[in-house]
Amino acid sequence: MKLELLPSELTAAKPILKQINQAGFQAYFVGGCVRDIILGKPIHDVDIASSAYPEEIKKIFKKTVDTGIQHGTVMVLDHGEGYEITTFRTESTYTDFRRPDQVTFVRSLSEDLKRRDFTINAFALDEDGQVIDYFDGLNDLSNRQIRAVGLAKERFTEDALRMMRALRFAAQLDFQIEGQTLAALVELGPNLAKIAVERIRVEFEKMLQGQAAGVALQVLVEAGLLPYLPGKTGLMTEANVFKVATQLERKQPQSQQVVWALYLGQQGFDGPTLQAQLRQWKLSKEVMQAVMAVGPLLADVNQIDRWAIYEHNAHVETLLETLTIMGIDKGVTDNIQKNYDSLAIYSMKDLALSGGDLIAAGLAKPGPDLGAALKKMERAVVLGQVNNTKEALTTLVKE
């Protein structure tokens, strides 16, 4: 297959391939970008692989940065763009099911492509737009399937993360997992327990944000992987997960916060349990805060009153998107939006009368007295009982 029209990102990077070729080495575009071009999808990153060793690449280009020299990656700077060039390599003996014990640089493209996870991720594209397809990936693309390069059982034994990646690509592309690859995933699921939480999480989030997330999640459960995911075993039941899978058949979460509000936040866990689960998935403080705020509101939308919306106003976007994906009535979300838009203040700092003002005017003494006065003003303003003006608040505090 020859691609006549390349997207601008690749056209811009072609001179790099040319320079490497002219120096007597091979260079190709590889990985996800080739797959995405063939599918006509937008590309995320341009990966280049070359027979030149890192030191040789550094001799060819004036400006380079050692971004990952131990695994053979050098970044070449060109017209303000950075391009990662990785030396062809093989990976050998994965004794811990997760990282290769040794990375060896090689001069052969086919050796490099052989170590890649799936046939649709193992294309190379040369300077002239010719697609190199050693593993019948084009055929898999047109059959819309995810198939391991070589023997799936061996490949998943080498690196168990590939099982999560299979599900992730199935969800993103709306592809099926090919029979033997799926069988290997069912058999080797327990190896996932050995993979670092962060790596699983990245693939899992991409999966849940994919266009066919619902189907992929269902496959994950049916393949028996649920007990090997991070989090306390047994807390997330199959029923919990199937509920999320059904909701995701209609919509795609746009943020990490929404992913976790849906997956963990809506399951009715009590506060400490929810927090423990979020911790086990090693989520950032930001995501944890959002899910902890939104989670309890999802159980009963009737409790989402004006005060609750004010208290959690920093997370209202997450709340609304989560409720929408859960299939909650539009009347409810419209009402939340209306309440949010019409809030007179969004924090105590927005009050027309500050703590300092109260003390200066002799309306309150520092300490609990002041705290109570501020709370009283805040509540009355949020609930629309008084206007947020100096006069109205002074009258309120004097009462």
Return residues touching ligand ATP (CB under 6 A): 31-32, 44-45, 47, 116-117, 121-122, 159, 161-162
List the alpha helices (DSSP H) in 83-211: 109-114, 137-142, 152-158, 161-173, 179-188, 197-208
Give the DSSP letter string of 57-74: HHHH-SSEEEEEGGGTEE
Asked if residue 43 binds Mg ion (CB under 5 A), the reply is no
Minimum distance from residue 355 beta carbon to ligand ATP (Å): 50
Binding-site residue set for CTP = 32, 35, 116, 159, 162, 165, 168
Question: To 10 degrees, what angle do helices 179-188 and 161-173 make?
Answer: 140
Minimum distance from residue 156 beta carbon to ligand ATP (Å): 10
Beta bridge partners of 132: 124
Looking at beta carbons only, is 100 or 296 nearer to ligand ATP? 100
Beta bridge partners of 64: 76
CB-closest chain residue to Mg ion: 32
Minimum distance from residue 206 beta carbon to ligand ATP (Å): 6
Minimum distance from residue 203 beta carbon to ligand ATP (Å): 8
Minimum distance from residue 205 beta carbon to ligand ATP (Å): 11
Minimum distance from residue 44 beta carbon to Mg ion (Å): 5
Which range binds Mg ion by CB under 5 A, 12-20, 29-37, 159-167, 361-369?
29-37
d(CA 261, CA 46): 32
Asked if residue 84 binds Mg ion (CB under 5 A), the reply is no
Looking at beta carbons only, is 37 or 336 nearer to ligand ATP? 37
Looking at beta carbons only, is 124 or 294 nearer to Mg ion? 124
Binding-site residue set = 32, 35, 45, 47, 116, 159, 162, 165, 168
Q: What share of the chain is helix, strand, coil (3-state, %, to 5)?
A: 55, 10, 35
Torsion angle in degrees (nearest 10) through CA of 125, 126, 129, 134:
-50
Looking up tokens 């899992």, which residue turns up? 204
Looking at beta carbons only, is 121 or 388 nearer to ligand ATP? 121
Looking at beta carbons only, is 47 or 321 nearer to Mg ion? 47
Contacts (Cβ under 8 Å, ≥6 apart) of 313: 340, 343, 346
Residue 277 binding result from Mg ion, ligand ATP, none, given CB thresholds of 5 to 8 Å by partner type: none
CB 318 within 8 A of CB 294: yes
Q: Of 3, 7, 21, 32, which one interacts with Mg ion (CB under 5 A)?
A: 32
d(CA 100, CA 392): 69
d(CA 131, CA 114): 16
Minimum distance from residue 92 beta carbon to ligand ATP (Å): 13
CB-closest chain residue to ligand ATP: 32
d(CA 229, CA 280): 10
Looking at beta carbons only, is 32 or 355 nearer to ligand ATP? 32
Mapped onto helix, strand or coil, the DSSP state of residue 218 is helix
Binding-site residue set for ATP = 32, 35, 116, 159, 162, 165, 168
d(CA 319, CA 292): 11
Looking at beta carbons only, is 47 or 321 nearer to ligand ATP? 47
Residue 279 binding result from Mg ion, ligand ATP, none, given CB thresholds of 5 to 8 Å by partner type: none
Asked if residue 129 binds Mg ion (CB under 5 A), the reply is no
Name the DSSP letter for residue 116: S
Residue 161 binding result from Mg ion, ligand ATP, none, given CB thresholds of 5 to 8 Å by partner type: ligand ATP
- By CB under 5 A, name the binding residues for Mg ion: 32, 45
